[in-house]
Structure 1
Amino acid sequence: MTESALLALRGASFAYEDGPVVLDDLDFDVHEGRALALLGRNGSGKTTLMRLLSGGLRPRAGTLAVEGRPVAYDRKGLTRLRTTVQLVVQDPDDQLFAASVAQDVSFGPLNLGLSDAEVRARVAEALAALDITALADRPTHLLSYGQRKRTTIAGAVAMRPRVLILDEPTAGLDPDGQERLLATLDGLRATGTTVVMATHDVDLALRWADDAALLTPSGAHTGPTAVVLARTDLLQRAGLRLPWGVAAARLLRTQGLLDETAEGPRTAEDLAALAVGVAPPR
């Protein structure tokens, strides 16, 4: 944990009314420019943590700070937080409510009191970023599942957040839809958006994220993805399996086919490149 975190929870605890403690004395950082995968078993507190980071919940104890400045849970403070952090939930139908795609995406910017011209510009920018410009006038009830997912993300992107938090964004998407969404997230990262993704998919986390955070009963364990996801002790406590890329790298090293200091494959394409003696792209 460092002072330079864009978002920082310190000593955060939370319990739902009449329920057990979900998170207790948690320290958690989100660093600008780093893609972060959040992993853990069901009930580990991932959703609660995401809602704490985005201001949907307030910690019972501890603090949330943006660039070292504690968040005030009044209207002004929460507006500031929500222009910095946006959360997109797993089920798009929990967030879509307007008649058309463009109307839905415009909701957040309109609530910021922006001019009509600025709202239109933000909507156009967000639709283009998610590759759904052609759907602007489409009724939301006529969208496919993948299109609904993209629309909810566009609504968050229209707020121009510095941190975009996504709860299981690839769940329910076919392989092509997953690839398109990951390409979109890479585009958002290239323009300066820090992305946090909650997922159960350790292979996706290994492939996509710079850092991984495993939520276990003993707290959050965060570090470079390839290092954290090679910790079988932590994976067991988090209720997760070993990523295939880590297992493949161990096999290649025991067979003398991969140098101890070289990065292992993160995708099938990486493994195929190693098989023909070509270093996988990074």
Structure 2
Amino acid sequence: MSESSVLVALRGVSFAYEDGPAVLNGLDFEVREGRALALLGRNGSGKTTLMRLLSGGLRPHAGVVTVDGTPVSYDRKGLTRLRTSVQLVVQDPDDQLFAASVAQDVSFGPLNLGLPDAEVRARVEEALTALDVARLADRPTHLLSYGQRKRTAIAGAVAMRPRVLILDEPTAGLDPDGQERLLATLDGLRAGGTTVVMATHDVDLALRWADDAALLTPSGVRTGPAAENLARAELLRAAGLRLPWGVAAAALLRGQGLLDGSTTGPRTAEELAALTTGRTGGRD
């Protein structure tokens, strides 16, 4: 891919918290337009720090953050440019929601941009609809279910119309139906032109959802096609992760002659069932 397809990047970035060791050291990292990117690593590997650097919540001690190849300046103008391009939604929605009602919370970001009232209303309606919470616009945020609070927090970021949406463990705490609905919503956002980055510990979800997987290891970040990176046992061990079941299932199917080397392996239980049913001709 060309450099022009890189939306936001870290170039030689290092960061350490006060009186602590370096969390990231000389890191190069890119978010490319249109690619669903899963960010994985053990606790303490630097995922949260990386996400906050990308979104302007932290400033690197060395190196630069770039948007469209241009280094970010940490004055008001530069940070506004970064934060209108990149939005981060943290894992716990209660850390992000604070307004009295859903609509008021979602409108906070656009209002801070100084947009006209009509534009703010349009953005709020668009975001609420995209996250399937329009019916909750007037509901107090403290009366929402956990899944509704998650969606409202994401809607607040979407209302900023970012080019890059970064989500920290967005499926954590959701039941299976809630997870499926959220993934469908993310597919809709991607179809509308938003590039999505998801930090997760769930290797099965990453294999199913992501185009690319970035694994944080003690020796740095390793980014590549999700199907390839998540099949590399040594890389997964270095990142403190296990092998996705879909990779193991594909290896078993190939060993039994049920899947050729050029065919993509199953990413979900439903795909595995469909694959094996097709091979057996639908016999019980």
Structure 2 portions without partners, runs of 5+: 280-284
Which letter maps to 2:19?
D
Aligned AA (1:165): I
Counterpart residue number, 2:203: 202
Mapping 1:96-115, distance limit 5 Å: 96-115=97-116
Partner of 1:181: 182
How far has the Cα of 1:2 moved from its partner?
5.8
Residue identity in the other structure for 1:198: A
- The Cα shift of 1:273 comes to 1.4
Counterpart of 1:277 in 2: which secondary structure?
Answer: helix
- How much has 1:52 moved relative to structure 2? 0.4
Give yes or no for the alignment of 1:3 onto 2:14.
Answer: no
How far apart, CA to CA, are the structure 2 residues paired with 1:276 and 1:175? 24
1:225-268 CA-partner distances (Å, limit 9, x unpaired)? 00000000010011000000000000111111110111111111
Q: In 2, distance between residues paired with 1:17 and 1:149? A: 31
Identity %: 84
Aligned to 1:16: 17
Paired with 2:134 and 2:235, the residues of 1 have a C-alpha distance of: 43
Equivalences for residues 72-83 of structure 1 within 5 A? 72-83=73-84
Calculate the aligned-residue CA RMSD, in Å.
Answer: 0.9
Name the counterpart of 1:121. 122
1:38 paired residue number: 39
| Whole-angstrom CA distance in 2 between matches of 1:250 and 1:71 | 45
- Which secondary structure does the structure 1 equivalent of 2:278 belong to? coil
Opposite residue 3 of structure 1, the aligned amino acid is E
Amino acid at match of 1:189: R
CA offsets 1:116-147 (integer angstroms, 9 cap, x no match):
00000000000000000000000001000000
Deviations 1:196-242 (A, max 9, x none): 00000000000000000000000000000000000000100110000
Alignment pair present for 1:243 and 2:244: yes
Instruction: State whether structure 2 residue 27 is matched by structure 1 residue 26.
Output: yes
Alignment-mate amino acid for residue 104 of structure 1: D
CA offsets per residue over residues 153-210 of structure 1, 9 Å max, x none? 0000000000000000000001111011000000000000000000000000000000
Query: Which amino acid is the alignment partner of residue 160 of structure 1?
Result: R
CA distance in 2, matches of 1:120, 1:110: 10
Q: State the distance in 1 between where 2:222 and 2:186 align.
A: 24
- Cα separation, 2, equivalents of 1:61 and 1:74: 17
1:91 partnered with 2:92: yes
5+ long unaligned stretches in structure 1: none
Task: For 1:206, give the aligned amino acid.
Answer: L
CA distance in 1, matches of 2:64, 2:278: 50
Q: Which residue of 2 aligns with 1:226?
A: 227
Distance 1:98 1:276 in 2: 51
- Number of the residue aligned with 1:137: 138
Residue 8 of structure 1: how far off its partner (Å): 1.2
Q: TM-score, normalised by structure 1?
A: 0.97
SS in 2 for 1:7: strand
Q: Does 1:53 align with 2:59?
A: no
Q: Secondary structure at the match of 1:206?
A: helix
Q: Distance in 1 between matches of 2:137 and 2:261?
A: 51
Equivalence for 1:66: 67
Distance 1:51 1:261 in 2: 39
**Matched residue type, 1:72:** S
Displacement of 1:276 in angstroms is 2.3
Q: Distance in 2 between matches of 1:188 and 1:116?
A: 24
